[in-house]
Amino acid sequence: MGLAGGVLIGLAAVTMMLVAGRIAGISGIASGLLMPMRGDTLWRGVFVAGLLLGAVLIAVPLPHHLEASPVQGFWLAAAGLLVGFGSTVGNGCTSGHGVCGLARLSGRSFAAVIVFMATAMVTVWVVRHGF
């Protein structure tokens, strides 16, 4: 299932670049909906709707592949805000840097992905083992 998802993400990123000439970075696409520019919202809305529709198309026939988070809502909201802040500070998100930036051999994206991965590893260690 993960391999299929990875292939679809890569295909979507390539299609977005070839058809629209844009990087498929989710934070940039979503933020463009929050601060819309004239004539720039339709494709962004369709892209985000496709993300949501894709989740529904998997969740309905395969609900056993989904798992509820054991984390309370407050912590999920705090984590989401931190991810949004990090995306803003890093000029992009994991999809923009990790999928699109690495494919373009961007040095900035390479550095960002190293920071993302190191932070993820430290976070997992802290959550599982404590300080």
Consecutive 10-residue averages of pLDDT for the chain (131 residues):
84 89 86 85 91 88 81 85 82 85 90 90 87 67
Q: What is the C-alpha separation between 63 and 58, in angstroms, rounded?
A: 7
The pLDDT score that the predictor gives to residue 105 is: 92
**Closest CA relative to residue 110, chosen from 96, 124, 121:** 96
DSSP letter for 63, please: G
What SS3 state is found at 34?
A: helix
The pLDDT score that the predictor gives to residue 131 is: 67
Residue 96 · residue 107 · CB < 8 Å = no
The pLDDT score that the predictor gives to residue 79 is: 85
pTM of the model: 0.72
The pLDDT score that the predictor gives to residue 6 is: 86
Sketch the domain layout of the chain as residue ranges: 2-129
Residue 63 · residue 78 · CB < 8 Å = no
Q: What is the C-alpha separation between 36 and 39, in angstroms, rounded?
A: 8
**Closest CA relative to residue 30, chosen from 55, 12, 6, 52:** 52
